[in-house]
Amino acid sequence: MRFLTLTAVLALAAAPAFADTDRAGARGMMPAFDFEAADTDGDGALSRAEFTAHVESQMEAARAAMFERQASAIMEAGDADGDGVLTAEELRAGLEAVHADRAERRGSWRARHAENRAERSEARAERRAERGEGERGKRHGMRGRMGGGDRAAMIERMFDRIDADDDGVISAEEFATAQERWEGRAERRGQRRAD
């Protein structure tokens, strides 16, 4: 009989996520961005190398935390006898329970998202009609705005968007302006969800 420890479960939980690690690691990363910590030379500005190193560090930390949560959920759901070790059967049961829970949450999220999207679409159509405007093309989500692609390219685009004066460094003022935009977007999203 084969047994798995928490470390092995962590590795198993991490395996499926590697297919989408760049996107998963990027979610939620920017609000935790610490300008002072990223400014390793202390000159009050972020070079492209400093920005990239800090963003990649934040993404790796977010990814590790996600893997730890997944492994803990599998252990909690599957370790029927509470001995801290999973048999093959317990692992299977834990994976099935976590998968079922995730599928249920995903279905619930999709239903809420579809309803919210329909309401926003209707409200936009009403505003356009009031202004006498015709139909417009579909708006793209984050992938459409940022262009998708690999992590290095995404970080480059982020740096370029924050570096408003295109001088090759991000000043504290440029960063503060970008942080205000992120916080404003998060606040607007929160208000829409509350409505």
pLDDT in tens, 14-32: 444 433 434 344 344 344 7
Q: What is the pLDDT of residues 141-158, one digit of tens each?
A: 444 444 456 888 999 999
Are 47 and 169 contacting, i.e. CB atoms less than 8 angstroms apart?
yes
State pLDDT tens for residues 58-69: 889 999 999 999
Q: Is the pTM of this model over 0.85?
A: no
Question: Per-residue pLDDT for 170 more than 60?
Answer: yes
Non-local (6+) Cβ contacts of 24 within 8 A are 17, 62, 63, 66
Q: Is 37 helix (H, G, I), strand (E, B) or coil?
A: helix
